[in-house]
Amino acid sequence: WRARPGRASPDISQTPVLEAVMLHERGDLQNSEEQCSKCRKGDGISAECVKMPGIYNGACSNCLLARTSNRPGSSGRPIRSYSAERRSISATISPS
């Protein structure tokens, strides 16, 4: 995980942020046609749009991080626990 230059790294002590980072590390890098609209515009904290089929309703790791943001103008939506999804992500990765 690497943030874009000039952007602070996320606080991984928060569970939803850690789950977004896990998705970024273990998901599939999207090509330009598959990227979400925010990633196409370069709005994500990371330069890559990363998703995993069937996880988080197709949201990418950047979108998940945006949901946890406390920045002015953020939607303020309640943060959902994705523990089941996190277990699913971990289960799909074979041990090295």
Q: Is the pTM of this model over 0.85?
A: no
Strands 50-51 and 28-29: antiparallel
Mean pLDDT taken over the chain = 79
Residue 42, exposed/middle/buried by CB under 10 A (0-12, 13-18, 19+)?
Answer: exposed
| Pairwise CA distance, residues 13 & 94, whole Å | 25
Answer for the pair 38, 69: CB distance below 8 angstroms, yes or no: no
Please check whether residue 40 lies inside any domain of the structure.
yes
Please check whether residue 32 lies inside any domain of the structure.
yes
Please check whether residue 30 lies inside any domain of the structure.
yes
Please check whether residue 43 lies inside any domain of the structure.
yes
Please check whether residue 89 lies inside any domain of the structure.
no
Summarised one tens digit per residue, pLDDT across range 78-91 is 445 556 666 666 66
Summarised one tens digit per residue, pLDDT across range 49-96 is 999 998 888 899 999 998 886 544 444 444 455 566 666 666 666 665
| Pairwise CA distance, residues 61 & 65, whole Å | 6
Structural domain boundaries, residue 54: 22-68
Please check whether residue 42 lies inside any domain of the structure.
yes
Please check whether residue 48 lies inside any domain of the structure.
yes
The pLDDT score that the predictor gives to residue 80 is 53
Residue 41 has pLDDT above 90, yes or no: yes
